[in-house]
Amino acid sequence: MTTAESVERRLAAVLAADVAGYSRLMGADEVGTLSALKVLRRDLVDPEIAAHKGRIVKTTGDGVLVEFASSVDAVTCAITIQRRMADRAPGGADPQLQYRIGINIGDIIVDFDDIFGDGVNVAARLEGIAEPGGICVSSSVYEQVRGKVNVDFVDRGEQNLKNICHPTRAYTVCPRESHARRAATSVSAPRLSVVVLPFTIFGEDPAHERFADGLTESLTTDLSRINGSHVVARNTAFSFKGESVDVRALGRDLNVRYALEGSVQSGSNRLRVNVQLIDAATGNHLWAERFDKPVADPFDMQDEIVARLANALSTQLIAAEARRAEAQLQPDVMDLYLQGVAGRNRGPTPEHLASAKGFFERALALEPDNVEALVGTAYVEAISAGSFVADDRIERLSLAEAALVRALSLVPDHAQAHMVLGFVQISTNRAAQGIAECQQSLSLDRNLAAAHAWIGIAKVYMGRADETEAHIREALRLSPRDAGAFRWLHFIGVAKMQLNADSEAVAWLRRGLELNRNYAIGHFRIAAALARLGHLDQARAAVKAGLALDASFTIRRFRSHFASDDRTYLSACESACEAMRMAGIPEG
């Protein structure tokens, strides 16, 4: 019996393969299929596994489980097998035999000659969703091999694999020569290209049909505001109303990368809206969302749903395009910009911000007057300055403002540039001017939820903290799952502290940290609020968590980041400094 002490674990690349439709083939010709499989294994599969340093762990009828020490070897072996299978002459072993292959890298348990664990199970499930003749790999394999093997990858999004607890991001492996053949016969779809298909209506209420058509039309308009997007015109999209469409064929016909489809259903005074974002090349679902709300004013409901969808879809589309861009050996300005935005959206850790800034700077090196990259760089500098992670706050805000002024000189109506400029002005004792910039950005793009949040913190700097919560709630209404929502909740906590409502402040600050525990200033703020409530043990624990994220934080740095000369604001800041001392934050 294997004991806990004797269990051997190791990291390995696991390849799982089986023959597509094997039972059907055996039913049609049992002897011929079995004979063909033996020849295939003897002459092609087993020799390639050996040549790529793989170890066959076990075979199960038509399947084979293989362990590799290198993920590059595993993927190269799979590509070679599938290429040789495809190139077989029609008179060879049996042209109907096609392998599906899944590859994962993970921790495995070794028990004598067998292997077990999630590392193995995920590989087996990926094999199950691979196309016949295809290869499907996990994101862990993708991260290891991209740029090291002569293939492209198609992102299949998060996959809920049977009996696997957590969703697994999967990628289809595509040899570059096959991509080249396809490119020779078709034009590549533009980046961020999408068609919003007419929503399906379940029921016969004409009001619901008008509501669904309004969603389709408004989403078409609002998605077109995403920088660099290409959205199919509403008249073309509505030509598919009531039809059952093949998304892959539609993608080819309209030359788009993505399709958005949805449905509207009502019952018991409630309205349910389901939406799915689909990769038009593969037909795979990349993202889905559901809205389930009491029936209210249809126009208010439509505006809220559209705003939430537009904000969420902007993040999802940019993330998908950034993953495509990662595979480019010679990325262009747009590739670099998209990767920068995706990095920034991952959260304001120093690593993510530095990575995002690097992509924007590379884009500007290729095209110095690229407005999107200028705004992207400014946003990163401003967020870094506002997160209390460095002492050069004023220098960063000055660099951000210079980039934004340049961007707006090139494109005066750039909504996000106005918003970020507003944030910079709010952070540098120009709150009223910054609020006006944020309002200007909202007049250009009503879905810029962050603009409401910046107005909310501006009210704190103006000594009007009682007005902050309403602005933040509006931001959350428009984008409840926003990448910056943790920061918005933090703003309410800061406002509550200015109002001496410390118990409420702790509750809001905790909600912010639940969304992002890597926000160091959030831990320091909650420490101050807890200290004022007399909970010194909890306050010191919060300080310890904050210093683990940013060991250089001091009260001196906090004082150097004051954003206003308003007396009410400054008094609240001094009170917070005293509470931070009580909690044990270093003076500096």
The amino acid sitting at 581 is R
Residues 6+ positions from 498 with CB-CB distance below 8 Å: 460, 463, 465, 568, 569, 572
Tokens of 27: 């039913």
Instruction: pLDDT tens for the chain, 588 residues: list them.
Output: 445 455 688 889 999 999 988 887 888 788 888 888 998 898 899 999 999 999 999 988 889 999 999 999 999 999 999 988 877 644 444 446 889 999 999 888 887 778 888 889 999 999 988 888 889 999 999 988 988 887 888 777 778 787 787 788 888 887 654 444 444 333 467 888 889 998 888 876 777 788 888 888 888 888 887 777 788 887 788 888 877 788 888 888 888 888 989 888 877 677 888 888 888 888 888 888 888 877 776 677 778 888 888 888 888 888 888 877 776 777 888 889 888 988 888 777 778 888 899 999 999 999 999 999 999 999 999 998 988 887 899 999 999 999 999 999 999 999 999 999 999 999 999 999 999 999 999 999 888 999 999 999 999 999 999 999 999 999 998 888 888 899 999 999 999 999 999 999 999 999 999 998 888 999 999 999 999 999 999 999 999 999 998 899 999 999 999 999 999 999 999 999 999 999 999 998
Using the 8-state DSSP alphabet, how is residue 166 labeled?
Answer: S
CA distance 195 to 251: 9
pLDDT at residue 415, rounded to an integer: 93
Partners of 59 in beta bridges: 64
3-state secondary structure of 368: coil
| Sign of the dihedral through C-alpha 244, 248, 253, 257 | positive
pLDDT at 129: 86
Separation CA 426–CA 101 (nearest Å)? 55
Q: What is the pLDDT of residue 297?
A: 67
Exposed e or buried b per residue across 310-344, where buried means at least 16 C-beta atoms within 10 angstroms of its C-beta: bbbbbbbbbbbbbbbbbbeeebebbbbbbbbbbbb
Secondary element (H or E) of residue 99 = strand 99-111
Token pair for 224: 């077109």
What is the model's pTM? 0.64
Can you give the pLDDT at residue 175? 67
CA-to-CA distance for 218 and 33, rounded, in angstroms? 55
pLDDT value, residue 96: 67
Give the number of residues written for the chain.
588
Residue type (1 letter), 198: P
| CA distance to 134, 326, 342, 352, 485, per residue, from 359 (Å) | 32, 11, 10, 11, 24
Count CA atoms within 13 Å of residue 376 on its CB side: 31
User: What are 131's strand-pairing partners?
Assistant: none
The structural domains of the chain, ordered by start, are: 4-185 (3.30.70.1230), 193-325 (3.40.50.10610), 463-588 (1.25.40.10)
Give alpha helix (H) positions in 151-246: 176-185, 206-223, 234-238
Q: What is the C-alpha to C-alpha distance for residues 235 and 285, in angstroms, rounded to an integer?
A: 25
